Structure 1
Amino acid sequence: MSDNGDEDEPPGVLLKGEDNAARRIKAERERRGWSTTTLSDRLNEAGYEMNPSAVWRIENGKRRINLDEAIGFAEAFGVSLSNLVGPPALAAAGRAMELIDTVVAANAAAQRAQHAYRRANADLIAYLDAHPDIREAADVMVSNAIAENTMKINQEEFGLPPQP
């Protein structure tokens, strides 16, 4: 955990997850008006053994936090683990973290889909190279199907186009 304190870190900078978690734990506890004892009790009730002194030591950078404990804190506060260890300035705006998680997940899905498309297209091209007699019909079929799918997706997203 860093020894340099908050004043050395520009706002929004991604610190080490452990430093972020320590700052976030303290902020979440204080925001709820919980004492270290109350937070400790909640952790213990959820099956994560922790005494109030350990909570204070984690919050103040005197003790490291392990993964199981981080999961326990995230559960106690009702936030995701990635939210707990994210930059404190962003984490304070919980909705921002939710939206960031959504964007990252959508990007991962889009990347997987793009890779699947490239593999399928490469397989089709290789097949059509070996069967040039059906290339034109296959190209038309692919183009029409892609255009139809694009129109369908656009209609779902934006509605029907205005009628003249």
Structure 2
Amino acid sequence: MPDEHDESPGVLLKGEDNAARRISVERVKRGWSTTALSDRLNEAGFDMNPSAVWRIENGKRRINLDEAIGFAEVFGVSLSNLVGPPTLAAAGRAMELIDAVVASHLAAQRAQRTYRQATDALSDYLAEHPDISEEADVMVSNAIADNVMKINQEEYGLPSA
């Protein structure tokens, strides 16, 4: 495990190392001993002795997923926050915002795929029914333009006259 102050560029991919460092930081920040943290984990239903806490913090023992969930629960942080880069994770709001950006990106990607599937299906249908193609295209364009106007009004307010 790297030195406690090592913040290499690949730190985003070192979830287990990040968790070990974060556990130590969170424990010390609260003024808890390894025994106090162990007691809290046990009370929360996660079996852990003080020696295991010390070994995890010092890279002498790997942390499993159930244990990581336990630490996150006891510290009151999300699992992604616990395994995130310690410098970002310490600023909990940064991790919340990062999680929101990532979730929004995923939602946008899924919406884009759904949009492509819908437009492909409509194109295929209109290829079989060319007699309604022009009218359908106008209807889609108008509906999309209306939606864009509504979104712009919500975001920027009504246009000035």
Q: Given the two structures, how large is their TM-score scaled by the length of structure 2?
A: 0.94
Q: Structure 2 matches for 1:99-114, cutoff 5 A? A: 99-114=97-112
Partner residue in 2 for 1:72 = 70
Give 1:13 deviation, angstroms: 3.0
* Residue 151 (structure 2) pairs with residue 141 (structure 1): no
CA distance in 2, matches of 1:152, 1:87: 39
RMSD of aligned Cα (Å) = 1.4
CA distance in 2, matches of 1:64, 1:154: 50
Q: For residues 8 and 46 of structure 1, do their structure 2 counterparts lie closer, same or farther at Cα, with a shift above 3 Å needed?
A: closer
Of residues 144, 156, 159 in structure 1, which corresponds to 2:157? 159
Alignment deviations for residues 60-100 of structure 1 (CA, whole Å, 9 cap, x no partner):
11111111000000000111111111111111111000000
* Residue 32 (structure 2) pairs with residue 31 (structure 1): no
Question: Could you tell me whether the CA contact under 8 Å between 1:54 and 1:63 is conserved in 2?
Answer: yes
Residue identity opposite 2:142 in structure 1: N
CA distance in 2, matches of 1:118, 1:80: 34
Partner residue in 2 for 1:52 = 50
Give 1:142 deviation, angstroms: 0.2
Uncovered stretches (5+) of structure 2, i.e. residues with no partner: none
Give 1:8 deviation, angstroms: 4.7
Percent sequence identity over aligned pairs:
78
Question: Could you tell me whether the CA contact under 8 Å between 2:11 and 2:18 is conserved in 1?
Answer: no
Give 1:18 deviation, angstroms: 0.8
Question: Could you tell me whether the CA contact under 8 Å between 1:26 and 1:59 is conserved in 2?
Answer: yes
CA distance in 1, matches of 2:97, 2:10: 16
Partner residue in 1 for 2:122 = 124
CA distance in 2, matches of 1:12, 1:76: 27
Partner residue in 2 for 1:150 = 148
Question: Could you tell me whether the CA contact under 8 Å between 1:36 and 1:56 is conserved in 2?
Answer: yes
CA distance in 2, matches of 1:77, 1:7: 21
Figure out how many residues of one structure are paired with residues of the other and give that number: 161
Q: Given the two structures, how large is their TM-score scaled by the length of structure 1?
A: 0.93
CA distance in 1, matches of 2:6, 2:25: 18
- Tell me which stretches of 4 or more aligned residues in structure 1 moved more than 6 Å: none
Q: For residues 149 and 96 of structure 1, do their structure 2 counterparts lie closer, same or farther at Cα, with a shift above 3 Å needed?
A: same
